[in-house]
Amino acid sequence: MTNADIAGRCVLIAGAFTDLGRHFALTLAEAGAKVALAGRRIEGGKKLANQIRENGGEAMVVRMDPARAQSVTSAVALVERELGAIRILVNGASVTTKPSVEGTDQGSNLVDVDVTGAWRVAQAVAQRMREHGQGGSIINIASITGMRATGTISSLLAARPGLIQLTSAMALELARYDIRVNALAPGYIETEASREFFASQVGQEVISRIPQRRVGQTEDLDGPLMLLASDASRFMTGSVLVVDGGALVSS
């Protein structure tokens, strides 16, 4: 698809130092995008940026804390000074802890990063997109956990539906500026962090309930990511693109 070309466009990846964030960065850089890697812990990001540069791509690392408005504003401004107008935002900053009803001491932090933080980042980038007048694509990284209850991760279940509703609200507000806002909702994806779980008996039971009878791989997200990032989705906004091997429809 010729309209899936993103070569030369500036991409900001919030949460770039997670397993999925790193994969998204490599995928988009390979497609020719100029990639800004943003997060709170930048040490690992420097290695990733060097890897992208060694492969002939363009990348920078910027410290950004989605829980602090000034940090977000400063990071967005720095990225545009170094790489040009941000055309694509992959909004994937997330807290990885999974508090339950019995242990909710970190639940408010999760909501502040996953929902309020996502809103801060999207708002700051959308403002710059309106100013440069070229439109753009905002991709919120959600989850099928935002669309059904699972296990004991109550605070996560409160955060992820909020992110999906945020996607809808921002899509409606920003459509007039040619800014598309969509959500990518992965199901069970094998990453470095989750590999041990999926190899366990409990993990195998989870996989057995997925209609495709397998866990997803990070590369299974590449096509949907490229669709939402590029002009191939120019008439899509407010959508939630589920990539889960049928897990959601089987519940």
For the chain, the distance separating the N- and C-terminal CA atoms, rounded to the nearest angstrom, is: 34
Residue 103 confidence class, pLDDT cut points 50, 70, 90 = very low
Domains (ranges, CATH) in the chain?
2-240 (3.40.50.720)
What would the pLDDT profile of 108-132 be if each residue is shown by its tens digit?
Answer: 455 555 688 999 999 999 999 999 9
The per-residue pLDDT of the chain, averaged, comes to 89
Q: What pLDDT shows up at residue 44? A: 81
Alpha-carbon gap, residue 170 to 159, rounded angstroms: 16
pTM across the whole model: 0.90
What would the pLDDT profile of 26-75 be if each residue is shown by its tens digit?
Answer: 999 999 999 999 999 888 899 999 999 999 999 999 999 999 999 999 99
Cα–chain-centroid distance for residue 243?
13
Measured at the alpha carbon of residue 106, what is the angle toward residues 102 and 110, in degrees to the nearest 5? Answer: 120
What would the pLDDT profile of 72-91 be if each residue is shown by its tens digit?
Answer: 999 999 999 999 999 999 99
Crossing angle (nearest 10°) for helices 19-30 and 43-54: 20
Q: What pLDDT shows up at residue 4? A: 81
